[in-house]
Amino acid sequence: MQSRWSDAEAQGLTGLDLLVYQSRLIGAEPALVLWGGGNTSLKVAEEDFRGREVKVLRVKGSGSDLRTAKASDFPGVRLEDVLPLFERQDMADEEMVDYLAHCLLGPGSLRPSIETLLHAFLPQASVAHTHADAILSLTNTRNPQEGLQRVYGNDVAVVAYRRPGFLLSKEVAQAALRHPSARGVVLLNHGLVTWGSTPKASYDAHIQLVTQAEEYVQKRAAGRVVFGPTRHAPLPPEERRQVAAAVAPGLRGLLSPPASGRLLLQFDDCAEVHAFAGSKRARELSELGAATPDHLLSTKRTPLLVDVADPSNIGDLLRALEEGVHQYAEAYAGWFRSHRRGQEEMRDAFPRVVLVPGLGMWAAGRDARAIQVVSDIYHHTIAIMAGAQAVDEYATLTLEDAYDAEYWPLELYKLTLLPPEKELSRRVALVTGAARGIGRAIARRFVQEGAHVVLADINEEGVRAAAEEMTAEHGAGRCFGLPLDVTSPQAVAAAFQQAVLAFGGLDILVSNAGVAPAGTLDQLELGQWKQSLAVNATGHFLVGREAVRIMRRQGLGGSLVFVATKNATTPGRGFGAYSAAKAAEVQLARVLAVENGSYGIRSNVINPDAVFQESGLWSQQLKEERAQAHGVPASELEEFYRKRNLLQVYITPRDVAEVALFLASDRSAKTTGSMLPVDGGLPEAFPR
Ligand code: ZN
């Protein structure tokens, strides 16, 4: 492992700033820590609120992440108050948390890490602790002492597995005391602790010890088939994607019963996944369990591995997945019942990782971030297992230790720090015509409300820019843009396939893409007529058809929202091709409501009128033509439309987006087949 330390960058940094610098270097290395794992500290002299100098431990706060560390992530703990605890025999977790709250230098700081005492009890100024892959490959074996002895001789102290807390902290300090020449302490099935007089010293020791482990593992792995012979060669890439897209909605439905909420699924078929999942040892190894306690909360103890003779047989695979999910949930509930200690409530009983040899892996979570955590952790779990198999045979926490890790209140506390869920959290939406105007406003509104959104538009550049803007605002993975010509069945199928591979299914369709050819029917070219029907009628049919196919397979209901127009009920002069096709769209939406009500799929129509802002529909030519049709100058067209409605208001894309949110969400759970105008009130266009 390469040291990332740069004296030039660190120059001039002291105290807390230097700790932040060191922490970020550790956080930048996924083979050391992942997603909030690991912790660092520095003992410094600071002034308290009365100006008295006190010795303070600056230590990572619970729930923060070394990768993005900042000064406020490191609460100060008064050492004078903490150190006497070393004399105690034991201390309950809750008491320890309470006690540490009293030791905080600043009121309102983050809760200090659950491993705070481990840092406090070691006398050195700087302490670094990680869950490095290579260390776990050494410790997660049947005979860890042997491997550790070979790699480190007597250079490290070793502490047996124990759940983090008071006793582990004390044992680490005692081990270091007994072994004054040690460069670090290895915690079995957990990780590594190093120290030094400066952040650089503890960092260097860490990198050196991890590098020694890596080199040993690599040497042992050379020429070995670590997971045994291949049982399932991967299907060809295109076939994998087709099969995965066909079964993902069904799998998502199985993992998303109403009681525990929907999960999103991301398909992953990279080479490392195939090498593991397709191997002879995959089932046995995957069932041994997670590599280190803090992984359990994200990935559960084990993945679900579903093995079928022919993974390209969609029917067989779906049946096997159903059976597999059922068995997994029963086994999880049994494990929970037999280890339950008090009043803990069972978390949902479903896997977060699903492996299908020959096909790939799904990572499941409540949102894109959770999925990324699961995916990253499982990729590293595979690497850790590979290392352990190279050294010896993978072994990990007992069922009981795993239970205590997953149901440890202090670890569950981290879940309470997650942002609250929003109205469209756990929902997947696809919006057509999303590069501009109404479609873009709807996509943005849905992303704001927590949905994961696929933005589609024939304007590829525009739709990618729109998605990037929303990603910058709301975080990676929440949406993406793709090119889509809604008149092409192949393009529509491919777009929905991408959506399903990225998010696992579909809950909401907003069919919005449209064109507006103008001209009186006596003059209209056949080509213009055909184009309007292709986009404004057939396009809605193609996306609506694809959406209900996915929603039916998923079995979780769904909402279809069709953006039509006031012209559907009140046709306008010189707008025949548009009005006729839009009337077909409305009737299509109603038939979709009729045909899919028994699946819990709702279908509704929005009729906006005269939405000019950011519009892709209103070209200058169209404005002039409509102005002529209404007998007003083009410059006064917007004002003409405003004055014509009862409320005398301009209609904006945001106004339409609010109504789309209503129809997409459970607020309108009992409304289907309806038509809702967003036109400021036009009596001639009242739905009837
Ligand atoms: Zn740890």
Q: What is the pLDDT of residues 637-673, one digit of tens each?
A: 889 989 999 999 999 999 999 999 999 999 999 999 9
d(CA 444, CA 614): 14
Q: How far is the CA of 515 from the centre of ligand 1 (A)?
A: 57
Q: Give the per-residue pLDDT at 494.
A: 97
Tokens of 317: 């695979």
Whether the per-residue pLDDT at 411 is higher than 80: the answer is no
Q: Which of 558, 562, 534 is nearest to 432 (CA)?
A: 562
d(CA 593, CA 229): 52
Contacts of 496 (CB under 8 A, 6+ apart): 245, 430, 506, 543, 546, 547, 550
Question: Secondary structure of 602-657 in the HEC alphabet?
Answer: EEEEEEECCECCCCCCCCHHHHHHHHHHHCCCHHHHHHHHHHHCCCCCCECHHHHH
Q: How far is the CA of 128 from the centre of ligand 1 (A)?
A: 10
pLDDT confidence of 572, banded at 50, 70, 90?
A: confident
Contacts of 100 (CB under 8 A, 6+ apart): 77, 82, 111, 112, 116
Q: How far is the CA of 140 from the centre of ligand 1 (A)?
A: 15
Q: How far is the CA of 263 from the centre of ligand 1 (A)?
A: 28
**Beta strand pairing status for 601-608 and 558-563?**
parallel
Q: Which of 492, 314, 380 is nearest to 137 (CA)?
A: 380
Q: Give the per-residue pLDDT at 85.
A: 95
Q: How far is the CA of 244 from the centre of ligand 1 (A)?
A: 36
Q: Give the per-residue pLDDT at 418.
A: 80
Containing 509, the helix (H) or strand (E) segment is strand 508-511
Q: Give the per-residue pLDDT at 343.
A: 85
Q: How far is the CA of 397 from the centre of ligand 1 (A)?
A: 14
Whether the per-residue pLDDT at 71 is higher than 90: the answer is yes
Q: How far is the CA of 407 from the centre of ligand 1 (A)?
A: 16
d(CA 591, CA 578): 20
Q: Give the per-residue pLDDT at 630.
A: 87
Q: Any idea what the Cα angle at residue 348 is, between residues 344 and 354, rounded to 5°?
A: 135
Q: How far is the CA of 361 from the centre of ligand 1 (A)?
A: 27
Which of 208-212, 343-347, 445-449, 621-625 has the weakest average pLDDT? 621-625
Q: Which positions are annotated as active-site residues?
A: 578
Percent of the chain with pLDDT over 70: 100
pLDDT confidence of 63, banded at 50, 70, 90?
A: confident
The pLDDT mean for the chain works out to 94
Q: How far is the CA of 590 from the centre of ligand 1 (A)?
A: 56
Walk me through the domains of the chain, giving residue ranges and CATH numbers: 7-221 (3.40.225.10), 237-416 (3.40.225.10), 428-617+651-681 (3.40.50.720)
Taking CA atoms, 687 is separated from 373, 429, 535, 606, 650, in Å, by 48, 27, 24, 11, 20
Q: How far is the CA of 303 from the centre of ligand 1 (A)?
A: 22
Average pLDDT over residues 141-160: 95
Q: Give the per-residue pLDDT at 107.
A: 87
Is the CA virtual torsion 438, 442, 448, 449 positive or negative? positive
Q: How far is the CA of 147 from the centre of ligand 1 (A)?
A: 21
Residue owning tokens 């009596």: 683
Q: Give the per-residue pLDDT at 620.
A: 85
Tokens of 39: 């912790």
d(CA 235, CA 267): 14
Whether the per-residue pLDDT at 680 is higher than 90: the answer is yes
Q: Give the per-residue pLDDT at 612.
A: 82
Tokens of 369: 């971030």
d(CA 40, CA 19): 8
Whether the per-residue pLDDT at 618 is higher than 90: the answer is no
d(CA 480, CA 499): 9
Q: How far is the CA of 37 from the centre of ligand 1 (A)?
A: 7
Q: Give the per-residue pLDDT at 77.
A: 97
Q: Give the per-residue pLDDT at 463.
A: 97
Whether the per-residue pLDDT at 415 is higher than 80: the answer is no
Q: How far is the CA of 95 from the centre of ligand 1 (A)?
A: 20
Outline where 524-575 has alpha helix (H): 526-533, 539-554
Average pLDDT over residues 557-574: 93
Average pLDDT over residues 55-79: 95
Q: Is 537 helix (H, G, I), strand (E, B) or coil?
A: helix
Q: What is the pLDDT of residues 79-121, one digit of tens each?
A: 999 999 999 999 999 899 999 999 999 988 999 998 999 999 9
- Give the count of beta carbons closer than 10 Å to the beta carbon of residue 426: 18
- Give the count of beta carbons closer than 10 Å to the beta carbon of residue 45: 10
pLDDT confidence of 622, banded at 50, 70, 90?
A: confident
